[in-house]
Amino acid sequence: MTEYPTPQETTRAVRYSFGMPLLLMAGLALLGLPRAVLHDLQVIHEGAPVTWFLALAPVAVWILVTVRVRSPRPFLTVLVIGVMFGVMLAITHQLLWNFAFAGMPALLEAGPALRLATVPGSLMTGAAIGAIGGLLALALTSLRRHNGGHD
């Protein structure tokens, strides 16, 4: 007979792996959505200072929280947050498709194949942002350990 871990054991295992609960990681990933939503609604545009802020600030928060909680695996932690963000980004783009491509009938009438073709790009974007952020978190964690681990 196979014994399954209790919810408490699972929570402890996740905290041991990432240094924080998955729910907090999902909340951190959500910080990246305002830029995607505002962009898809055509409220902000590429290159504007607010767009850069909305793109970079969430990743900085991911890194700072990961370093602050002393995650035992900072690269993996921020990578997973990035992947969560990528999933949320893909869903957001699908939900806001009609707004994002307003005035472009060919794209609005696109079949499911074209819409599904955009999903890997969102997933890769999240993973790439998470990997880059994870490398920065790893570097900061290593620097902190090298300097005696003081805040």
Do 88 and 35 form a contact (C-beta atoms < 8 A)?
A: no
Amino acid of residue 124 = M
Q: For residue 111, is pLDDT > 80? A: no
Do 7 and 15 form a contact (C-beta atoms < 8 A)?
A: no
Do 32 and 87 form a contact (C-beta atoms < 8 A)?
A: no
Do 78 and 25 form a contact (C-beta atoms < 8 A)?
A: no
Do 134 and 76 form a contact (C-beta atoms < 8 A)?
A: yes
Q: Structure pTM?
A: 0.85
Domain ranges of the chain: 22-143
The confidence score (pLDDT) of residue 149 equals 62
Q: What is 24-55 written as a DSSP string?
A: HHHHHHHTTHHHHHHHHTTSS-TT-HHHHHHH
Q: How far is the C-alpha of 17 from the C-alpha of 75, rounded, in Å?
A: 11
Q: How far is the C-alpha of 122 from the C-alpha of 102, rounded, in Å?
A: 20
Express each pLDDT in 54-84 by its tens digit: 999 999 999 999 999 999 999 999 999 999 9
Express each pLDDT in 9-47 by its tens digit: 666 666 668 889 999 999 999 999 999 999 989 899 889
